[in-house]
Amino acid sequence: DSGVTQTPKHLITATGQRVTLRCSPRSGDLSVYWYQQSLDQGLQFLIQYYNGEERAKGNILERFSAQQFPDLHSELNLSSLELGDSALYFCASSVGQGASYGYTFGSGTRLTVV
């Protein structure tokens, strides 16, 4: 157990729908990062939050949004889902900002859009 908790583990939904993925960081970690791992793109950085504030954005679609709550858990919202959104979505956390503080990844949420 890495200490980073992601729910749900699996999600199957139809095109056009909206889903919310949840991440609880390791105790004491203030940064949360979201990554997408798809069949043809590998692991891609989506967005980072630090202590409730958005700090960096990567290749995140406008249909996707995220937030970090006062208790530091984070949610990734995916809307108007398309078949190509099917992927593994990972959350990682760290004490500070950036990989040099030591990322810890969760086990991911596998999203299947049908």
Partner 1 sequence: GESVGLHLPTLSVQEGDNSIINCAYSNSASDYFIWYKQESGKGPQFIIDIRSNMDKRQGQRVTVLLNKTVKHLSLQIAATQPGDSAVYFCAESYYGSARQLTFGSGTQLTVLP
Q: Which residues contact partner 1 (rule: CB under 8 A)?
A: 2, 4, 33, 37-40, 42-45, 48, 55-56, 58, 88, 90, 92, 97-100, 102-108
Element (H, E) at 46: strand 42-50
Q: Minimum distance from CB of 25 to partner 1 (Å)?
A: 13
Residues near 14 by beta carbon (within 8 Å), at least 6 away in sequence: 81, 113, 114
Distance CA 113, CA 43 (A): 18
C-beta of 39: minimal distance to partner 1 in Å? 4
Nearer to partner 1, 9 or 18 (CB): 9
CB of 64 to partner 1, least distance (A): 16
Residue type for position 58: G
